[in-house]
Amino acid sequence: MKRNILYILCGLALTCSINPTYGNGYMRGLKGLDVSHWQGYVNFNDIKNDGIEVIYIKVAQGSDYQDPMWLQNYNDARNAGLKIGFYHYITASNNEEAIQQAEYFYNLIKYKEYECLPVMEYTDNPIISNYEINEVVTTYMNTLKNLVNSNVAIYTDEDRVENLWEASLSEYPLWIADYSGENPYLGSWDSWAGFQYTETGSIYGINGNEVDLNYFKDTIFVNQNTAPPAQVPPAMPPSHVIAPSAPPTYTPPTYTPPNHVLPNGSIVYLGHIVQVGDTLSKLAERYGTTVEYLAEINNITNPNVIHVGQILII
């Protein structure tokens, strides 16, 4: 895609800023990217050098699936100095599920630092009506907003803005996907906080896959660029502390969240990525805990169902 940037040079250079605009003067905003495991390994230093300032990371889907790359993406993006946001693809069909999924998302991100509003993505649900979809999404957004103690945003496309979402949802900042031109259709919203203008972009730092490219305004940020402080994680149960002299009982998977070393030299293992053949009962036996504990701490409603790639707190 050809990109034209118009710079307006101010006579008083020290007091005037240079802002990227469309030819018609419409503000673009900060360049941003959204990533999930579909992009594979991302070199966040390279994408930052290519002009990206905002990165949205897919964290989870529904109430029992975590994107297998989200923790690595978070740590690498943080180390690169990018402005970070998280998004959650929800699948709820009723208000109870909406509350459960909002709590699931919140529990995953509450110990992380982020600058951008948490975002919900919802597409279609053929088993409920448009009215019920709006009710479910409203319940989710209200629940998440109360949990994170800040505003939250909605990601959607121009078709759903026009044909699905009720005006009441316009109280939440809009991240709109519209590939038809420079000015996306906004429906009941007065403006956009995020604008995804292509799904076939390319950028240094991501090889072989087309990517979504976005612009973000300052309304996408939490409290004008100030993210809520990360909460202090609760102490892990004593049964999960391995003495320094004890030999390891398993080989960690290819990627696990960073281990925390306690003052006495003990190590707390924070996570396990589900592999083929894993079950909660096998993992409980391996780590010296119970199926009930693993199900509870990971918000798993059916202990007989876990997914390959799912990251479990141990």
Query: Per-residue pLDDT tens for 116-169?
Result: 999 999 988 999 999 999 999 999 999 999 999 999 999 999 999 999 999 999
Q: Given this model, what pLDDT does residue 267 score?
A: 40
User: Tens digits of per-residue pLDDT, 284-314?
Assistant: 877 778 888 888 878 898 888 888 778 888 8
Whole-angstrom distance, CA of residue 45 vs CA of residue 103: 32
By residue count, the chain amounts to 314
In this prediction, residue 229 has a pLDDT band, given cuts at 50, 70 and 90, of: low
Beta strand segments in 10-118, E: 30-35, 54-61, 65-66, 83-89
Q: Given this model, what pLDDT does residue 290 score?
A: 86
Mean pLDDT to the nearest integer, 102-125? 97
Of 128, 122, 238, 237, nearest to 169 (Cα)? 122
Whole-angstrom distance, CA of residue 7 vs CA of residue 226: 28
* pTM score of the predicted model: 0.68
Mean pLDDT to the nearest integer, 189-202? 97
Q: Given this model, what pLDDT does residue 311 score?
A: 81
Asked whether the beta carbons of 161 and 185 are under 8 A apart, the reply is yes
Whole-angstrom distance, CA of residue 177 vs CA of residue 158: 6
Mean pLDDT to the nearest integer, 87-92? 98
Residues sharing a CB contact under 8 Å with residue 207, sequence separation 6 or more, in sequence order: 40
Name which residue leads in pLDDT, 44 or 5: 44
Q: Is the pLDDT reported for residue 250 higher than 80? A: no
Domains of the chain, by residue range, sit at 30-220, 238-313
Strands 241-242, 267-268: pairing is antiparallel
**Distances, alpha carbon 61 to alpha carbons 3, 23, 92, 168, in Å:** 33, 38, 10, 24
Asked whether the beta carbons of 229 and 245 are under 8 A apart, the reply is no
Specify the range with the lowest mean pLDDT, choosing from 88-97, 140-149, 233-242.
Answer: 233-242
Give DSSP secondary structure letters for 38-62. GG-S--HHHHHHTT--EEEEEEEET
Look at domain 30-220 and name its CATH class. alpha beta
The CATH architecture one would assign to domain 238-313 is Roll (3.10)
